[in-house]
Amino acid sequence: MNILIAPILSALCAVSGDTGSLVLQAEVVHGPDGPIEKGRILIRDGKIEAIGAGLELPEDGHLIELEGHLSAGLVAMGDQTGLKGEALDSTRQIMDGADLAFGYDKTDDGWGAFLEAGVTAVLLTPKPGALVGGRTAVVKPAGAMVQRRAHLHVCFSNAAFKPGVAPTSYPGAISMLEQRMKTPTGGFALLGKGLGVLLAAKTRAEGLRAVAFAKRHDLTGALTGVSRAGDLADELHDAGLGVILPPIGAAADPRVPASAATLGKKDIPLAFSLGATNRSPHALRISALRCMKAGLARDAAWKALTSGAGEIANAPVGSLAVGRAADMVLWSGDPLELTSQVERVWIEGKQVHGDDDQ
Amino acid sequence: MLAPALLAWAPTISAQEPADPPAETQIFIKAERVIVQPGKELKDAQVLVQGGKVLAVGTDLVAPDGAKVLETKVVCAGFIDPWSTLGLDSASASLRDTNILTRAVDALNPFGSAVHLQAALRAGITGYGVALGGKASVKGLGAFVCTANHADGGLDVLLKDSFIGATVGSSGDAFDRIGYAERLVKYIKAGEDYRVEQVEYTHEIAKWRTEIAESEVKLEKDFKKAKKSRDKEIKEAEEDNKKFKEESYREDRQPRKPRFDAEKEAWARVAEGTLPLVVEAHRYVELSALLDGTKAFDRLRLVIAGGTEVLPLAATLVKRSIPVIVWPTPLGSKRPAGMRAHDLSLAGALAEKDVRVLLGSGGTSGTRDLPLLAALAVGHGLEPEKALAALTTEAARALDMGSILGKVRAGYRADLLLLDGDPISTTTSIRQVISAGKIAFNVEGGQ
Amino acid sequence: MIYPGFLISCVLLALASPAPEAPKPVDLTVHADYLHVAPGEVVRNALIQIRDGKIASVLPGRSAPDGALSAHSIMAGMIDASARVTPGDVAVEQSKEVITNLSVTDSLDFFNPAWDRLARTGVTTTLIAPPDYNVVGGFSVVVKTSGPKRVEARVVTGASILRGAIGELPSAGNSPAFGRPTNFYARRPTTRMGVEWEWRKAFFDAAQSARFPDAEFEGADVLRACLAGDVRIFIQAWTTADIRTAVYLDEEMQAEGYGDLDIVIDAGAEAWKEPAFLVRTGTPVVLPPFPATGRLGERAFMPWDTGRKLTDLGIMIALSAHGETGLKERLSAQAGYAIRGGLTFDEALACVTTTPARLLGVEKQVGAVKSGMDADLVLWNGAPFSATSNIVGVVASGEVVLTPR
Amino acid sequence: MNISSITHLTAALALTSAAALGGDSHAIKVGKVITMAGEPIENGIVLIESGRITAVGPASEIQIPWDAEVFAAPNLVAFPGQVEACTSQGMDRANESIDVAPFLNVVDSVDPVNFFYEEMLRAGITTLNVQQGNSTVIAGRGMIVKPSGMTVAAMTVRPEAGIKIAITPKRGKSRAVQLMILREAFAGLRRTLEDLVQEANDGNDHARREALAQGRDFEAEDGKGRAMTGSGWIVEGLEAVPRASIDSKILPLLAIVEGRISVYMACSTPMDVLHGLEIAKENGFLAQTVLLLGPTCWKVSDEIKAAGVRGVILSSTLEHTERAPFAEEDTVTVLPTHFAEKGIPFALASQNSTTQSLWFQAARCVALGVDREVALAAITSGPAEVIGLSSEVGTIEKGKHGNLVLLSGDPLSLQTQVRYVFIEGKLTYDRTTDTRLQHLMDGVQPEGTSADEPVVEDIHEEERTAGDK
């Protein structure tokens, strides 16, 4: 811990006489390197400046002692909240230049539910329905835009086919994409240069085609929508892709959470989406819980809700690492326990949910 | 008595299920905590199970020899889902052509639903109330069914007529939706009148028969006289050759038997409170219309299901002791437009106002989720103890099962959960599920 | 030049990683009282030894060792040259009526239970063609019905086979373009005539492109390969009129000196009506399943002695069940019906093994029980194809996919 | 000696009958007679007089009456005319829209010129039990016919032969509603009868009191009715009600409860079977119930065995494949062997005259491991038993109808053809003159035919698909 304190003190001297800083202490703080008992976290200018046990309180800061667990906010993948009609443009099949960021509406009343559920970052994805539906964005509920261009959304499922518009078939779709990759322009040109790929599919066969495509052009990103992606673990591992799992509902095939466990064992990056139907954000924790019951390791499940999801989202979210924006949630207990309530939520150091007795 | 006998025929639900010990075998459970019922707990206690029932619960019991001994952290009563469609053949879960005479047991398909039943059992749900037709305005006779197999391998139906299911305001505009409530009230009224009519008839007919009997005795007495005078009249008639005319006979008309009406008969049972009426309703207007309309029937046993906007009516619910089956499902944006966002906090809020709160899944596969939903409800303000009560004692009570289910008590049916932690916690895992005194699910697989 | 359609499967082959389900080659011994090595070749009390999915040896006059699979009769795994296990219309690109640069390979779903069911009926190798909503629908692919659920593990390299159709289907759903067409279904062909015309045009243009470079168009190379006889064409033609059209097309190309098409008629139900054409051009026919009652696709009519008639005229025929797996529809049943229609046992056997193998260009690998060939075996509890005997076991590439009860 | 005397006798009879009926006496000489009642007879002779078999035996033992028409076919095999145990084809329409319609009668719907009967005849089927389709709750009364004759009267073998009851919901209905209607039908019948009895008695009492009052001597009219019988439930005192005075619409229901008419119960799923058996038991018609089973019903074969129904008819799907939800593998059940192993005798049903005709179904059974005799019985004596006609058809035996099929070879061989069919001794089918068959087999277009074959509806379709889901 001393290692941590030293730089902070020096930092404090440096920034003497500024707006001041805030130190939060909780029973448990879920830091990047695991839970810290009686952990403290130092926040300045909405950023995390230090984290650890027994952080000393800088003279310009004040300490708030909290009951319960403090963790990074959860990251929800694949949602259309606030996109309204913008979730899908039906006029074209390939929209590699379209940014969902422009469809983001921070005033949408749907965002409240996200804060209630402890979600502080959301990956906006287009509805499947076009071959290339646009470029995804990472936003904060009723807050800032984190990443304007996260992935190019490419749909390998039959949802991409419309009567009377090319392509009408899997082979047609793949050759169309191959054509674009020959002489890449627009979104295709950015692939691999900061822009990831989000491979949307439903069946395992579609998933295999998607993964093969990514592998051929060695693209980074994730496969989304294939509920039994576990059967493709080897290919996914081989292509270095992550997996975004659809919400695992009550009726879900028991082999779905089991397949998540398989992916976990292979260390394939995982995250959970809310699906195209805008499930309640609580679906995230429920899905994770189901996977845990099916054998997914506890910290793998937690990672899938936070930092792992952040990596797949291709944005600096989902972790309490030093330097990150202070997007935090205070839980009444273990965050992976559904009986724990969301007490408070901070985004960039500002409390945005819960009773404020500061 | 179709149900138990008939459904006991279906094949065993799961292949991997451990072979049941013979009924005589006793099961002796040692636990750190035995939750007899919410709020009543025994530390380091034992439970003795025999012949499908709990034989004894105590802190100083010793295992009888030959008994199968199980050890665990926590024991509590099996969970009950009062509002489910589990086990119905897929079509019947969403019927609209039902009426009060259609019976859920007729649509139970143990063959198609084996997987879901097994999943629910593993999740700790040992019994559930099932009604037909998702949104039908009158769903008909609901049944109370167990998730574990019957001794002879089929679905175990404890009650084939456990309650009447109904829905108010599932479709149509505001007026239609209130109309549903009014129609429901009319039905109940009709049932009540029908009963009255029958009672009156039985009185009248009895009266009539006695009177007739009396007059018959008199007639028999006067017969000789009558015969004589008749013969005389005949003779006279012949003499002044007139045609002989029989004197006409009159008596009080026999009272008319009221026309039998199977539907009214069933509604009568609702009106007189022999069958609880479980009504799904969500919006304030419909809920208040329903409560007002049913005020008059003091013997009616009403249960509200759903009740998204019922909170403002809490006082009435408490006064009339009407329980609410809350469906604490994260609806997200799928929530019907114009409904307030109570889905997760409702249970807690109602309980705070001392309303009897039940928790229901309202689904086929959803039933396995009930414990998760309960946890979510707790995560939104419901006291854990109340949550447990909702899943056990309260649910049993609402569906007429209170005297045999919902508690770990001598004489009660041995539907028990053996857990490694708190029953409501989602990180707790279920070690064994005991249903009717048999190990129906065992985490270790074997015995 | 490689066709993009293939490029993909080739790349897949390149990166073929050991798939999770990949079967570990197990050595297996199978015994048969009667082994039908190939049509006309029977070996009594044969012992078949299998190594690495191939037949290592066939030893006559042996008794069954303990633990060996054994059956009354054994024959080679059957081959259906028209199995039709595809995800449907999404397997063929309809944005153009003539598609030559795509392969149905990219639409196959080996997780589909239909494959296991097909394998259990003794069909171990199939030709999968794009559905016939186009005039020319693209390339077909030869695949095994069992094995790892991965394309690269299932594809068998045989002849390059282009797929097309004559008749109703290619024009179904198209409509004449009035005013500004809103989608590409406002196009030719809208009639059988139109379909016929599209065929001619395609090959005529291809032939022209060979002479005049500026007449080159996308996919012309494939059509030229067809004219050169390097690519075989399976043409679906139910009725005699459509069969005639196909034959005329071939003869016309020859007459014009454009080349010689290598045509196979698929679903040629009415081939018996005017067999002279087929005899003239030596065109083989894949017959559709026999009609239970009434008629077949496109109101074509096929009597039960069709097999007999065509065989007598020396026309090469294969039988097909179009992927049906029911007790009375499956390929082995079709062989039975052909026998009821007058075919001999050996002829019927050839129609479901060696002949289709030749039509798909995989005769060196499958279709007979000989050492070095794939260990695809069908085990019978009696004489194959007899109404009173049944398939009790199936071995595919050395793996037991149906275990004798 | 004994035998010859008998044949003399028959000859004599034949003489008289010949005089009367103009020689309605046939002798059929074949290479082999498979009687389905004992061992096959090589070089056998079957004597038929006035439609009935008078003698069966080896040529050496049978003397042919002088006036008998001899039909010699030394290379052919005689086999009993096959029996279709329950079909809904050959009617103008298979179903009536009314839920409970036992007052209907298929006699008004059977269509003698329907292609179906021609197809059945061609396949060697000589007896068919025609019942209403499955889209009903309680159907009209069915009948047993033979596939020959230009009028329904001519075709009739047994009128009023059974009623179809569907447990599987009729189109657009749910199980719960279907069963509610079914139960209510019987409950309603019971209430009606009870009321009738009550009224009758009250009526009598009133008459008696009137007589007393008037001083007349009164003899109570004892009801011209018949006391109710039945094993399910009984309404006491029904004898007080003349049957004629009971509404004819409910009389057939009463016949069911009294066990006087067969019930053909359509069950496509196991749960249907369980409900059906229960209702049959409640209302006392279990003993004359015949189950029409869908492919999945094997799952309750133990209950079927225990229930002791009169018969079981398998659908034309002999092998049931299904993939349980969330399972990786198919489970395949071979139905005929399953039922054979459970010791439940079954009859087979056919779908069409070629790939799913009765003989082919039997052959497939053998292929699937069923004993050959059992399989052959399942298309002849078995179904005859099931439709309660075992004394009349199903085997080639003295006293039975002269229904036989002359085959070119083994009844279960693919190469075998049906050459001739005799119904009640009359040559009804001759392959050499069957132009439509030539069309089907050899592609010969018969003159003046529109060569459009009838589409035979597949009544078991939904069940077959149901299984695979």
- Rounded CA separation D348/D368 (Å): 14
Instruction: Provide the pLDDT for residue D223.
Output: 60
Instruction: Provide the pLDDT for residue D19.
Output: 38
ipTM: 0.86
Closest CA–CA distance from residue C367 to any residue of chain A (Å): 29
Instruction: Provide the pLDDT for residue B17.
Output: 42
Instruction: Provide the pLDDT for residue A11.
Output: 38
Q: What is the CA radius of gyration of chain D?
A: 25
Among candidate residues C258, C257, C233, the one with its CA nearest the CA of residue C247: C233
Residue of B nearest to A116 (CA): B380
Q: DSSP readout, C75-97?
A: EEPEEETT---S-GGGGS--SSS
Average pLDDT estimate for A129-136: 92
C17 lies within 8 A of chain A by CB: yes
> Contact B332/A278, CB-based, under 8 Å?
yes
User: Residue C287 is encoded by which pair of tokens?
Assistant: 């017959």
Q: Which residue is associated with the tokens 């954000």?
A: A281
Q: Examine chains B and D and say if they touch (3+ CB pairs below 8 A).
A: yes
pLDDT, one tens digit per residue, over A177-215 is 999 999 999 999 999 888 999 999 999 999 999 999 999
Instruction: Provide the pLDDT for residue B246.
Output: 83
pLDDT band at D423 (very low <50, low <70, confident <90, very high): very high
Chains that touch B (3 or more CB pairs under 8 A): A, D
Chain C CB contacts of D320 under 8 Å are none
> Contact D326/B115, CB-based, under 8 Å?
yes
Chain C CB contacts of D364 under 8 Å are 327-328, 387, 390
pTM: 0.88
Q: Between these two residues, A88 and A340, which has the higher pLDDT value?
A: A340
Chain D CB contacts of B215 under 8 Å are 209
User: Residue A14 is encoded by which pair of tokens?
Assistant: 């440096």
User: Residue C79 is encoded by which pair of tokens?
Assistant: 């081959």
Average pLDDT estimate for C239-258: 94
pLDDT of residue D114 exceeding 60? yes
Q: What percent of chain D has pLDDT above 70?
A: 88
Q: Mean pLDDT check: name the lowest of A12-16, A127-131, B276-280.
A: A12-16
Quick count: other Cβ atoms within 10 Å of Cβ A91? 8
Average pLDDT estimate for D199-209: 86
A77-to-A87, A197, A338 alpha-carbon distances in Å = 14, 14, 20
Considering CB atoms only, which of A164, A231, A238 is closest to C182?
A164
pLDDT, one tens digit per residue, over A269-301 is 999 998 755 567 888 999 999 999 899 999 999
Q: Which residue is associated with the tokens 């970052």?
A: A121
Report domain extents, chain C: 4-24+78-366
- Rounded CA separation D262/B353 (Å): 63
Chain D CB contacts of B110 under 8 Å are 271
- Rounded CA separation B170/D280 (Å): 38
What top-level class would CATH report for the domain A74-313? alpha beta
Q: How many interchain CB pairs under 8 A, A with B?
A: 66
pLDDT of residue D131 exceeding 80? yes
User: Residue B24 is encoded by which pair of tokens?
Assistant: 């005589």
Q: How does strand D163-166 pair with strand D138-141?
A: antiparallel
pLDDT band at C17 (very low <50, low <70, confident <90, very high): very low
The CATH number for D82-187+247-392+457-469, chosen from 3.20.20.140, 3.30.450.370, 3.40.720.10, 3.90.420.10, is 3.20.20.140
Residue of A nearest to B369 (CA): A250
Considering CB atoms only, which of D330, D368, D441 is closest to C113?
D330
Residue B75: φ, ψ to 5°: -125, 135
B290-to-A278, B167, B282, B313, D147 alpha-carbon distances in Å = 32, 11, 11, 11, 63
- C103, β-bridge pairs: C139
D116 lies within 8 A of chain C by CB: no
Give the contacts of B233 (CB within 8 A, at least 6 positions apart). B244
- C40, β-bridge pairs: none
D243 lies within 8 A of chain B by CB: no
Helix (H) / strand (E) containing C127: strand C123-128
What are the residues of chain A with a beta carbon less than 8 Å away from any beta carbon of chain C?
158, 161, 163-172, 174-175, 178, 203-205, 208-209, 212, 215-216, 231, 233-235, 238
C364 lies within 8 A of chain D by CB: no
Instruction: Provide the pLDDT for residue D12.
Output: 40
> Contact B111/D299, CB-based, under 8 Å?
yes
Report domain extents, chain D: 2-81+394-433, 82-187+247-392+457-469
> Contact D355/C305, CB-based, under 8 Å?
no
Chain D CB contacts of A253 under 8 Å are 325-326
Instruction: Provide the pLDDT for residue B11.
Output: 36
Chain D CB contacts of B101 under 8 Å are 180, 184
Instruction: Provide the pLDDT for residue D43.
Output: 96
Considering CB atoms only, which of B92, B216, B228 is closest to D176?
B92
Low-confidence ranges of chain B (pLDDT < 50): 1-19, 21-23, 332-334, 336-342, 447
D338 lies within 8 A of chain C by CB: no
The edge-to-edge listing of strands for the beta sheet with D125-130 is: D82-87, D125-130, D143-145, D156-158
User: Residue C136 is encoded by which pair of tokens?
Assistant: 């020319």
Report helix, strand or coil for A340: coil
Among candidate residues B348, B354, B300, the one with its CA nearest the CA of residue B326: B348
Q: How does strand A34-37 pair with strand C78-80?
A: unpaired
Among candidate residues A342, A341, A327, the one with its CA nearest the CA of residue A122: A327
- B433, β-bridge pairs: B417, B441
C4-24+78-366, CATH topology level: TIM Barrel (3.20.20)
Considering CB atoms only, which of D180, D210, D326 is closest to B102?
D180
Ranges of beta strands (E only) in A264-308 are 270-272
Q: Which of A119, A287, A296, A339 to probe by mutation at the B interface, max B CB count within 10 Å?
A: A339
- Rounded CA separation B360/B189 (Å): 28
Among candidate residues A256, A280, A259, the one with its CA nearest the CA of residue A268: A259
pLDDT of residue A245 exceeding 90? yes
Instruction: Provide the pLDDT for residue B24.
Output: 63
Closest CA–CA distance from residue D216 to any residue of chain B (Å): 6
Average pLDDT estimate for C201-223: 93
Q: Which of B81, B83, B118, B372 to probe by mutation at the A interface, max A CB count within 10 Å?
A: B372
Considering CB atoms only, which of C15, C19, C106 is closest to A174?
C106
D2-81+394-433, CATH topology level: Urease, subunit C; domain 1 (2.30.40)
Closest CA–CA distance from residue D148 to any residue of chain C (Å): 21
Report domain extents, chain A: 2-72+319-353, 74-313
Q: Which residue is associated with the tokens 């009935």?
A: D52
Average pLDDT estimate for D406-421: 95
Instruction: Provide the pLDDT for residue A356.
Output: 59
Residue of C nearest to D360 (CA): C387
Considering CB atoms only, which of D317, D323, D363 is closest to C113?
D323
Chains that touch D (3 or more CB pairs under 8 A): A, B, C
B92-to-B4, B8, B88, D174 alpha-carbon distances in Å = 20, 20, 6, 6
CB-side exposure of D464: number of CA atoms within 13 Å?
14
Rounded to the nearest 10 degrees, what angle do helices A298-305 and A282-293 cross at? 160
The CATH number for A2-72+319-353, chosen from 2.60.40.3670, 3.40.50.1220, 2.30.40.10, 1.20.1740.10, is 2.30.40.10
D77 lies within 8 A of chain C by CB: no
Average pLDDT estimate for C270-289: 95
Peptide bond into A7 cis (omega under 30): no
- Rounded CA separation C123/C325 (Å): 9
Helix (H) / strand (E) containing C192: helix C192-211
Residue of A nearest to D328 (CA): A255
- B128, β-bridge pairs: B81, B145
Q: Which of A80, A119, A280 to probe by mutation at the B interface, max B CB count within 10 Å?
A: A280
pLDDT, one tens digit per residue, over C175-209 is 776 766 677 777 778 888 889 999 999 999 999 99
Q: Mean pLDDT check: name the lowest of A22-31, A48-57, B16-25.
A: B16-25
- Rounded CA separation A327/A114 (Å): 13
Considering CB atoms only, which of A209, A235, A238 is closest to C106?
A209
Q: Which amino acid is at C382?
A: G
D356 lies within 8 A of chain C by CB: yes
Burial of B43 (0-12, 13-18, 19+ CB in 10 A): exposed
- A72, β-bridge pairs: A328
> Contact A341/B369, CB-based, under 8 Å?
no
Mean of per-residue pLDDT scores for chain C:
90
Burial call D343-375: b when 16+ CB within 10 Å, e when fewer: ebebbbbbbbbbbbbbbbbbbbbbbbbbeeebb
- Window 195-224 of D, Cβ < 8 Å to B: 195, 202, 205-206, 209-210, 212-217
Q: Mean pLDDT check: name the lowest of C177-181, C287-291, C301-305.
A: C177-181
Q: What percent of chain A has pLDDT above 90?
A: 67
Chain C CB contacts of A235 under 8 Å are 17
Quick count: other Cβ atoms within 10 Å of Cβ D12? 11
- Rounded CA separation A143/D360 (Å): 73
Average pLDDT estimate for D196-222: 83
**C326 contacts C293 by C-beta, under 8 angstroms:** no
> Contact C387/D319, CB-based, under 8 Å?
no
> Contact D274/B9, CB-based, under 8 Å?
yes
Q: Which of C327, C337, C389, C394 to probe by mutation at the D interface, max D CB count within 10 Å?
A: C327
